[in-house]
Amino acid sequence: MEKDQNIKAEKNNINKENPEDKKLKNNEEVKEEKTLTPEEKITELEDKLTRTFAEMENQRRRYEKEKDEAFEYGGFSFARETLNLTDNLERAKESLKNDESLKNSEILKKTLEHMEIIHKDILSIFKKNNIEPITSMNKKLDPNYHQAMMEIEDDEKEPGTIIQEIQKGFTMKDRLLRPALVAVSKKNEKIETNKQEDKKDKENKEKK
């Protein structure tokens, strides 16, 4: 009985060890398959080095681009805030012009002249820093530079033509600093309707 039990135990041990033995054999086979020749190892290393250098070059270019943009557009937010100076100056001029107590007075004339000098100086400083006003009046609406705030009926202008500048827009180098707020023309609906009706009547008459 003891002999039989020992034989069974040995068989069980053999069966338990077999999976591990198989794994070891498989690993050895994989290692044998993965063993590279010196030429293949050199080729693999060259490939890794090429990819590493390519990644380093891409990082260098990204850094250079970010550095250039920081240098060129570092004052972008400051420039946009500075535009408030010109806005407030324009509002102050309009307010003085509309003041009935100052109309046609020498004081008003001199004050407006001084304010105009200040305004020109500000625009000159802007220009030196590549900040330019956007030309809007009588131009076709361009969504890249203009923002339409309202439509005004005007039969003399093509629809979508800028006929009023509410707030001046500016660019900084090749970037939009602030869009121009504008009013654009549209056709008089009543006149347009009458024209269409006249056209239909004329066509009907010709058919008859």
Question: SS in 3 state form for the chain?
Answer: CHHHHHHHHHHHHHHHHHHHHHHHHHHHHHHHHHCCCHHHHHHHHHHHHHHHHHHHHHHHHHHHHHHHHHHHHCCHHHHHHHHHHHHHHHHHHHHHHCCCCCCCCHHHHHHHHHHHHHHHHHHHHHHHCCEEECCCCCCECCCCCEEEEEEEECCCCCCCEEEEEEECCEEECCEEEECEEEEEEECCHHHHHHHHHHHHHHHHHHHC
Q: For 158-177, what is the mean pLDDT?
A: 91
Domain chopping of the chain, boundaries: 2-67, 79-129, 133-208
On whether the pTM is more than 0.75, the answer is: no
CA atoms within 13 A on the CB side of 52: 6
List pLDDT tens digits, range 62-118.
877 766 666 566 678 888 888 988 899 989 998 988 888 888 889 899 999 999 999
pLDDT band at 169; cut points 50, 70, 90: very high
133-208 carries CATH number 2.30.22.10: yes
How far apart CA 62 and CA 75 sit, in angstroms, is 20
pLDDT of residue 51: 85
